[in-house]
Amino acid sequence: MSPVLEATGLGVRYRRTWALRDCSLSLPAGRVAALVGPNGAGKTTLMHAAVGLLRPRSGGVRVAGTAAFVAQDKPLYDGFSVADMLTFGRRTNARWDQASAVDRLAGLGIPLERKVSGLSGGQRAQVAVTMALAGRPDLLILDEPLANLDPLARHDVMRSIMAEVADRELTVLLSSHVVSDLEETCDWLIVLNGGRLQVSGDIEELLREHLVLTGPREATAAGVRVVSERRTGRQTGMLVRGPLPPDPRWRARHPGLEELVMGYLRSPESAALPRPAGVDA
Amino acid sequence: MIWVTWRQHRAQILVTAGFLALLGLLLLGSAVEAGRYAAEHAPPGCPGPDVACGELEVALGRRYGAVYTIFGWMPLVAPALIGAFWGAPLLGREYERGTHRLAWTQSVSVRRWLLVKLSVLGATVTAGGLLLSLMVSLWRPVFRKGADSTFGNIGVFNMVGVQPGVWWLYAFMLGVAAGALFRRTLPAMALVVAGVTVTMFTLFQLSDHYAEPVRAELSGDVLLADPDARLVGAAWVEPSGREVTEPSVGGCPHRADMGRSDRNARAWEACLFGKGYRHAVYYHPPSKFWRFQWTEAGILTLASAALAGLAVRRTLRRPG
Interface predicted TM-score of the whole assembly (ipTM), two decimals: 0.88
Domain range for B260 is 214-286
Q: Are residues B139 and B172 in the same domain?
A: yes
Among B3, B113, B319, beta carbon nearest to A53 = B319
Of all residues in chain A, the percent with pLDDT exceeding 70 is: 97
Q: Are residues B32 and B159 in the same domain?
A: yes
Q: What is the mean pLDDT of residues A166-173?
A: 88
Question: Which chain B residue's Cα is nearest to A44?
Answer: B320
Greatest alpha-carbon pair distance for chain A in Å reads 68
Q: Are residues B254 and B302 in the same domain?
A: no
Q: Are residues B278 and B305 in the same domain?
A: no
How far, in Å, CA of A266 to CA of B40, rounded?
95
Please, which pLDDT band fits residue B91 given cuts at 50, 70 and 90? very high
Interface check A84 vs B, CB under 8 A: yes
At residue B146, the pLDDT reads 59
Residue A281 has pLDDT above 50, yes or no: no
At residue A5, the pLDDT reads 93
Q: Which residues 85-144 of B are in CB contact (within 8 Å) with A?
A: 97-108, 110, 113
Question: Which chain A residue's Cα is nearest to B11?
Answer: A79
Please, which pLDDT band fits residue A280 given cuts at 50, 70 and 90? very low
Q: How many domains does chain B have?
A: 2
Q: For residues B257, B258, B262 and B267, what is the CA-based torsion angle, rounded to 10 degrees?
A: -50
At A247, which amino acid appears?
D
Give this prediction's pTM: 0.89
- B214-218, strands of its sheet edge to edge: B214-218, B278-284, B230-237, B243-244
At residue A277, the pLDDT reads 47
At residue A279, the pLDDT reads 39
Question: Which chain A residue's Cα is nearest to B318?
Answer: A54
Q: How many CB atoms lie within 10 A of CB A83?
A: 14
Q: What share of chain A is helix, strand, coil (3-state, %, to 5)?
A: 30, 30, 40
Q: Are residues B247 and B310 in the same domain?
A: no
| pLDDT per residue as tens digits for the range B215-253 | 988 887 778 878 788 889 888 888 888 888 887 766 777
Q: Are residues B205 and B224 in the same domain?
A: no
Q: Are residues B178 and B237 in the same domain?
A: no
Q: Are residues B194 and B241 in the same domain?
A: no
A121 vs A272, higher pLDDT: A121
At residue B12, the pLDDT reads 95
Helix locations, chain B, DSSP H? 2-41, 51-71, 74-82, 88-97, 100-103, 110-139, 154-157, 163-182, 185-206, 263-274, 289-317
B71 vs A244, higher pLDDT: A244
At residue A255, the pLDDT reads 92
Given a contact cutoff of 8 angstroms between Cβ atoms, the answer to whether B37 and B61 are in contact is no
Q: What is the mean pLDDT of residues A50-78?
A: 92
Residue A9 has pLDDT above 80, yes or no: yes
Given a contact cutoff of 8 angstroms between Cβ atoms, the answer to whether A219 and A235 are in contact is no
Contacts of A76 in chain B (CB under 8 A): 99, 102
| pLDDT per residue as tens digits for the range A122-147 | 899 999 999 999 999 999 999 998 88
Q: Are residues B164 and B186 in the same domain?
A: yes
| pLDDT per residue as tens digits for the range A191-206 | 999 889 999 999 999 9
At residue A1, the pLDDT reads 62
Residue B65 has pLDDT above 50, yes or no: yes
Q: For residues A194, A200, A204 and A209, what is the CA-based torsion angle, rounded to 10 degrees?
A: -80
Contacts of B104 in chain A (CB under 8 A): 52-53
Please, which pLDDT band fits residue A278 given cuts at 50, 70 and 90? very low
Residue B113 has pLDDT above 90, yes or no: yes
- Give A220 to chain B, closest Cα distance, Å: 50
Parallel/antiparallel/unpaired status of strands A188-193 and A196-202: antiparallel
At residue A180, the pLDDT reads 80
| pLDDT per residue as tens digits for the range A80-113 | 999 999 999 999 999 999 999 999 999 889 999 9
Q: Are residues B275 and B310 in the same domain?
A: no
Which of B3, B6, B101 would you mutate first to test chain A, the one with the most A CBs within 10 A?
Answer: B101
Interface check A55 vs B, CB under 8 A: yes
Q: Are residues B206 and B145 in the same domain?
A: yes
Q: Are residues B267 and B203 in the same domain?
A: no
